[in-house]
Amino acid sequence: MSDARAKTIDRKDLLIELGCEELPPKALDKIRQAFYAGVEVGLNKQNILFDPAASRSFSSPRRLAVLFKSVATSQPDQDLERRGPALKAAFDSDHKATPAAIGFARSVSKEVSDLETIKTEKGEWLYARLHVPGKSLAELIYPILEQAIKQLPVPKPMRWASHDFSFVRPVHWLIVLHGTTVLEGQLLGQTAGNTTRGHRIHSPGPHSIPIAADYRQVLEAACVIADHDRRRDMIQKKLLETDENVHIDPALLDEVNNLVEWPVTVSCTFDEEFLAVPHAALIASMQDHQKFFPVMESGRSGKITNRFIAVSNLDSERPSSVRAGFERVIRPRLADARFFLQQDMKQPLESFSASLDQLIFQQKIGTVGDKSLRISRLSKEIAELLSINSAHAERAALLCKCDLMSQMVGEFPELQGVIGHHYALASGEHPAVAAAIEEHYLPRFAGDAIPLSGVGQAVSIADRLDTLAGIFAAGLRPSGNKDPFGLRRASLGLVRILLEGGLDLSLKQLLALSAIELSSQQTVGPALLLEIHNFIVERAKNYYREQGFAAELIKAAVSSDWDSLPDLDARLKALDGFMGQEAASSLAAANKRIGNILRKTEESISTHIDEDIFVLDEERYLFDDIATLEVQLDSLLEAAEYSASLELLSGLRKPVDRFFQAVMVMDEDPALRANRLALLRRLKALFDRIADLSFLS
């Protein structure tokens, strides 16, 4: 396309809006982002020019929209060159066109006589120059939109009326506006126009959008803040202005942002008598069930007050009535929570344990009661390894699942552990036991804290080990995206507790202990233990990749003879520091070379080195250096001083370089060859005590 042609293409803003019934608030952000990405991909694929830096998406409970800035009215024209069959295949001996020539001419919409020829080093060929006018945006936009909609991450698509298509919610209006021009067409049962609808109460509409660039202004005049980021900031600002001690949960803020189009904050209260309910239950009632923001005491007490803030989608002329409505709906929820608390606390926490025998954890490995007994024994053993109070660990593990059978957790499942902590204290359990009941669920998600107490860490480790061993033994390993028992999350949590808690526990020993506890229900043999071990190690690799460590460093450290995750951590960090030194690349290359030699040889390699048959000084000097370093390394490795060990081994750089320059390892003499291979094996074993440097480049 020529520059002159490019300048003649008109460019205007393109607005697309799908007007819907109320969209699912928790999924809306992802749907909006995916819709924008799908249209963007379609425009790029069709070579429709636009300004990506200035383009963006919009959403509210009743709309999904994108505004692409400076969008071309059509594709650019294209001048194409097509090469056809060779001349000798295009014409017969009478110079008549062959089927090959005729077919080529038809494919480029020309007559054979209109085709040109082109000469190349390989001969002459039929040739055609084509000028292909670009298709208009109006022709292309609806297929682009259909494809974008087809790929949206819609959680539960639905059908409406008699339509044979589905979408996340019924669609009631459609805008496809390029500048001031409506691009005619139909989508999801609606015919495109240039009218939108405003706030249901304050300014329902319809409202005409004369030009695409006016989209936000038209809607704001109709009491709709279409810009989701601006609306979120407005809500947060209004909350803090209403009460500076408001507790703003980011996930709740996102959800509320997708529930309102014209946010108005309303300060409310509830009866102080409900403050006797565990504060976690009060917060869950307000946040999870009613989408209200609780207000905390000033300072750092962390205690909740009897105040909360609601976000209304209505600027009412009678705010007192709106406030009364919010206060009316929260009271039954808090009353329920107080009732569940009163009923549950008529008995000690331990009394719920009998009901755990009726709750199946997994058919092949028994009930949650069985699991509680296993992890109590396992927690005791882990606590003994950590030299912490094993009686507390055993007791906490025995009680840690009891609150699952309480009425409170039945109503507020997200409070499992938190309610157990509260009930344990009320039942007279030791504070360390009560805290561990709550902590053993940590970390619940990526970025969540690990258990702080040693008892909590022991129970959390035991719980995860039992789940991993049991589910693997039952043959229910994760497959693809399917992980119904959350084994990847359990493994990553285990890795984080061991690493971030600095717990120098043998991973293989922990797995063996869990297998013993499970033996009455399922057999976990050595091969399965190795599979579980490797599964956990993969999560550790992912953890380190997210920390920014290079894949080759992780592989080098993991391939060493480590046993505990803190030991692996020390090796990896020492190796990471060592790679910045001058000797590192040379020794890494030497290790790779040694590894290749040892791997490729078909001879059995002896562990014995005969000093008497050394021929060259370079092999004798290297042998002496290895023997000296083996002794010096023992004390350093005993103390896990891996950085100092690598610093010591860096002194081998010159002896190793001289060895490879002067010595032919694969000598024709079998005795010399075997002796030199044994020397290399011993050299590599020296480095392998820290990490396998052959993986490094």
Span 399-419, pLDDT tens digits: 999 999 999 999 999 999 999
Q: Same domain for 496 and 606?
A: no
CB 62 within 8 A of CB 19: yes
Chain position carrying tokens 């396309």: 1
Q: Same domain for 497 and 605?
A: no
Q: Same domain for 409 and 536?
A: yes
pLDDT score of 5 more than 70: no
Q: What integer best gives the mean pLDDT of the chain?
A: 91
Domain boundary among 221, 249, 270: 221
- pLDDT-derived band at 163, boundaries 50, 70, 90: confident
Domain holding 663, by residue range, is 571-695
- pLDDT-derived band at 335, boundaries 50, 70, 90: very high
Mean pLDDT, residues 646-666 taken together: 87
Distance, CA of 621 to CA of 617 (rounded, Å): 6
Distance, CA of 59 to CA of 24 (rounded, Å): 11
Angle, helices 368-386 vs 507-518, to 10°: value is 140
Q: Is the dihedral angle over the CA atoms 409, 413, 419, 421 positive or is it negative?
A: positive
Distance, CA of 264 to CA of 94 (rounded, Å): 87
Span 360-371, pLDDT tens digits: 999 999 999 999
In a domain, 655, yes or no: yes
Q: Same domain for 382 and 398?
A: yes
Q: Same domain for 339 and 488?
A: no
In a domain, 197, yes or no: yes
In a domain, 556, yes or no: no
Bigger pLDDT: 113 vs 642: 642
Q: Same domain for 418 and 520?
A: yes
Span 20-45, pLDDT tens digits: 999 999 999 999 999 999 999 999 99
pLDDT score of 1 more than 50: no
pLDDT score of 182 more than 60: yes
pLDDT at position 697: 64
pLDDT at position 24: 94
Mean pLDDT, residues 183-208 taken together: 95
pLDDT score of 578 more than 90: no
In a domain, 565, yes or no: no
Q: Same domain for 9 and 141?
A: yes
Distance, CA of 364 to CA of 356 (rounded, Å): 16
pLDDT score of 103 more than 90: no
Q: Where are any strands of DSSP class E within 61-170?
A: 63-72, 78-86, 116-120, 123-132
CA distances to 105, 333, 679, 682 from 624, rounded to whole Å, are 79, 79, 11, 12
Q: Same domain for 107 and 249?
A: no
Q: Which amino acid is at 393?
A: A
- pLDDT-derived band at 666, boundaries 50, 70, 90: confident
CB 168 within 8 A of CB 152: yes
In a domain, 563, yes or no: no
Distance, CA of 519 to CA of 622 (rounded, Å): 51
Q: Same domain for 298 and 188?
A: no
> Which residues does 130 contact at the CB level (< 8 Å), separation at least 6?
78, 79, 80, 81, 82, 108
DSSP conformation class of 502: T
Tokens of 273: 């008598």
Mean pLDDT, residues 452-463 taken together: 97
Helix, coil or strand: residue 653: helix
Helix, coil or strand: residue 682: helix
CB 212 within 8 A of CB 179: yes
pLDDT at position 298: 85
Count of positions (residues) in the chain: 697
Mean pLDDT, residues 663-676 taken together: 88
DSSP conformation class of 211: S
pLDDT score of 660 more than 80: yes
CB burial of 425-464 (b: ≥16 within 10 Å; e: otherwise) equals: bebebbebbbbbbbbbbbbeeeeeebbebbbbbbbbbbbb
In a domain, 542, yes or no: yes
Domain boundary among 132, 154, 174: 132
In a domain, 349, yes or no: no
* Number of domains the chain contains: 5
Mean pLDDT, residues 409-431 taken together: 95
User: pTM for the full model?
Assistant: 0.78
How wide is the angle at C-alpha 647 spanned by C-alphas 641 and 652, nearest 5°?
130
Query: What CATH number corresponds to the domain at position 633?
Result: 1.10.730
pLDDT score of 17 more than 90: yes
Q: Same domain for 209 and 69?
A: yes
DSSP conformation class of 289: I
Nearest to 532, CA basis, from 465, 459, 482, 484: 465
Mean pLDDT, residues 518-536 taken together: 93
User: What pairs with residue 119 in β-bridges?
Assistant: 124
H-assigned helices in 46-187: 87-90, 99-107, 137-150
CB 525 within 8 A of CB 503: no
Lowest-pLDDT choice from 350-359, 405-414, 648-657: 648-657
Give the CA radius of gyration of the chain: 35
Q: Same domain for 364 and 465?
A: yes
pLDDT at position 115: 83
pLDDT at position 309: 97
Distance, CA of 172 to CA of 642 (rounded, Å): 67
pLDDT at position 21: 95
Q: How many helices, marked H, and strands, marked E, lie in the chain?
A: 27, 17
Q: Which amino acid is at 90?
A: A
Bigger pLDDT: 684 vs 66: 66
DSSP 247-273: ---HHHHHHHHTT-SS-EEEEEE--GG
- pLDDT-derived band at 446, boundaries 50, 70, 90: confident
Mean pLDDT, residues 625-651 taken together: 89
In a domain, 350, yes or no: no
Question: Counting Cβ atoms within 10 Å, is residue 131 exposed (0-12), middle (13-18) or buried (19+)?
Answer: exposed
Q: Same domain for 45 and 64?
A: yes
pLDDT at position 8: 61
> Which residues does 565 contact at the CB level (< 8 Å), separation at least 6?
495, 498, 499, 503, 507, 540
Domain boundary among 94, 112, 132: 132
